[in-house]
Chains A and B, each alone.
Chain A
Amino acid sequence: MAIIEKLTTGPAAQGRTVQTGGSALGKAVAYLAGLIAAAAFALPFFWMVSTSLKVPGDVFISPPTWIPWPLQWQTYPEAWTFIPFFSYTINTLQIAIPSIIGILFSCTLTAYGFARIRAWGRDVLFFICLSTMMIPWAVTMVPVFVIFKNLGWTGTYLPLIVPNFLGSAFYIFLLRQFFLTIPMELSDAARVDGCSELGIFARIILPLSKPVLATVTLFEFNRVWSDYLAPLIFLTRQEHFTIALGLTYFLDRDRPLWNLAMAGNTMAILPVIIVFVLAQRAFIEGITLTGIKG
């Protein structure tokens, strides 16, 4: 048990943010590099917000004006009512929340099986799992559609939700990589103590994986939020549409409204930002597991 306590007790047990750079100069360089990079990465967002606050005729002026004046705040309420923003948001949540639950449920279990149980055939099965990512969706889409049709699911949210309860190779792989880094001694010791495999999974591995679980949650939320093709293909009623589909209505060929489109986009990403901040809290809390003493 000594090793378990050494690895898992106390705030100093795990490095969270660490000072690997040493000198003040190094730190200054790091800051500067970080700020320049951050400015570059903030550009798309800044441009989107800036465009949302322009009058239509200024959208295409080049070189662009970065700070329009006066700011056209009313684009936001206009965008909110131009498409049924609220009900599309609710629709998307109705897909996103069960999808996240499904992913967290199915992928953690599967990844645990692939990472922590040394059994015959495991690596082959894992490779088959990975290979499901390697065939372009374009050619499997139609057969998948046939399955959903035979199940009577077309026109409902089920095709967008249920598969998430049955694993997704990307997340399984991601979680497996993280589960593999957790010292095996933890599991062995727990087994000696009579803990079941499910108990080890739930009480040791999952609590130690908070950052990656938060990452998976964020990724899945973002994926559902921005998914365009799958909802478009599988939904048949406009009133069931998701926010990503609704956003395309601003740029109708006959009447493209760029400033409203950007206001819509800006509003649409707010939920993702909220989930991001929440997910980062799991990062900050880090791994303060107090061990499995006993």
Chain B
Amino acid sequence: MTPGAKRFLTMLAFISPWILGFLGFFVYPLLLSLYYSFTEYNLLQPPKFVGLTNYVNLTEDSHYLNAVGNTLYFVVFSVPLGVLTAFIIAFLLNQQLRLRVLLRMIFYIPIVVPISATAILWMWIFNSNWGLLNNLLALIGIQGPSWLGSPTWSKPSLVIMQLWLVGGSVLIFLAALQDVPRALYDAAMVDGANAVRRVWHVTIPMVTPAILFSLLTGLIAAFQTFANAWIMTGGGPIRSTEFYVLYLYENGFRFFRMGYASSMAWILFGAVVVVTVILFRTSARWVYYGGEG
């Protein structure tokens, strides 16, 4: 056996759990949902083949196009802001602070507390009259908007809310920061690099694999954002927070249009694949893997 073949078989052996899972639980559902996307399917009666009708109808569905726009807005703002916020918090928490574990827990806890339990709190934070946010803004002389009531500000409100939920990325960055060899900082110090330069030239390059992970999983999740809008705004006001998967889900499970929902899912799938490929292609230039072989 050639070394190449041996390596291939070794790799297959290691990834065999996933291969089994993929063949067992993904291939059939993926193909079936692709088939549904060419049918009229209400989940209760057999699907009826309609060719490309669903895809054609999507191009004329103003609610769908609106949902695309809302989702792109959310992705563009929430993902980079989320990664940045998570990195800054992780960086602060990685200092030799007292009560480090407690602080880390505090940043993680908003993920643990269900949004359904805190929906009323969020309403109070964003309330235009007596809300916390507008009270703070008033301190610096700004009259805050009607956050959740305004079609202009409803999406920014949800982006801001999303920043509360970066605790997972914070932990990933913290784990990555554990791996930065002390020796590198020492070497940088010897070279006379100041704190900012040490962060820029040592810390950030060493955590780029975690940044790539956070960016990509953040993108995939943001494209599929659902729960916040479902619970907080129901897609309103005037469909300003009706996101892609919210609309998809309603079509599939409320409006008896699973075929239509499936065509939406496959367009989303295609779009996310493209974004991911681009991100991976460019990542070779900025992600540093200490162990890349």
Chain A residues close to B by CB (< 8 Å) = 6-7, 12-22, 26-27, 30-31, 33-34, 37-38, 40-45, 47-48, 59-60, 62-64, 105-107, 109-110, 112-122, 125, 127-136, 138-140, 142-144, 146-147, 163, 165-167, 170, 172-174, 177-184, 186-187, 197, 201, 211-212, 214-215, 218-219, 222, 226, 244, 247-248, 251, 261-262, 265, 269, 272-273, 276-277, 280, 283-284, 286-287
Q: Is the CB of B107 within 8 A of A147?
A: no
With A44-B110, A183-B291 as given contacts, are A20 and B33 in contact (CB-CB < 8 Å)?
A: no
Selected from B15, B117, B168, B178, the residue in CB contact (under 8 A) with A125 is B15
Q: Is the CB of B14 within 8 A of A44?
A: no
Q: A140 to chain B: which residues have CB within 8 Å?
A: 26, 29-30, 32-33
Q: B164 to chain A: which residues have CB within 8 Å?
A: 40-41, 44
Q: Is the CB of A134 within 8 A of B195?
A: no
Q: Is the CB of B104 within 8 A of A134?
A: no
Selected from A117, A143, A248, the residue in CB contact (under 8 A) with B29 is A143
B46 contacts the other chain (Cβ, under 8 Å)? no
Q: B183 to chain A: which residues have CB within 8 Å?
A: 6, 12-13
Q: Is the CB of A117 within 8 A of B11?
A: yes
B36 contacts the other chain (Cβ, under 8 Å)? yes
Q: Is the CB of B172 within 8 A of A37?
A: no
Output the least CB separation between B146 and chain A (Å): 15
Q: B28 to chain A: which residues have CB within 8 Å?
A: 143, 147
Q: Which A-chain residue is minimally distant from B3 (CB atoms)?
A: A119
Q: Is the CB of A131 within 8 A of B104?
A: no
Q: Is the CB of A14 within 8 A of B179?
A: yes
**Extra inter-chain contacts (18) besides given A15-B185, A262-B117, CB under 8 Å:** A15-B184, A19-B95, A40-B164, A43-B121, A62-B124, A109-B14, A113-B10, A117-B11, A130-B276, A131-B269, A136-B265, A139-B262, A163-B25, A165-B17, A201-B14, A211-B174, A211-B175, A211-B178
Selected from A114, A135, A284, the residue in CB contact (under 8 A) with B265 is A135
B141 contacts the other chain (Cβ, under 8 Å)? no
CA distance A121 to B261 in the complex (A): 33
> 1/0 per residue B196-207: CB within 8 Å of A?
001100010010
Contacting A at CB under 8 A, from B88-104, are 89, 91-97, 100-101, 103-104
Query: What are the nearest 7 A-B pairs in CB distance?
Result: A166-B21, A113-B14, A167-B18, A143-B29, A15-B182, A106-B17, A113-B15
Contacting A at CB under 8 A, from B51-96, are 89, 91-96
With A106-B18, A139-B265 as given contacts, are A14 and B181 in contact (CB-CB < 8 Å)?
A: yes
Selected from B14, B25, B104, B290, the residue in CB contact (under 8 A) with A166 is B25
Output the least CB separation between A226 and chain B (Å): 6
Q: Is the CB of A180 within 8 A of B289?
A: yes
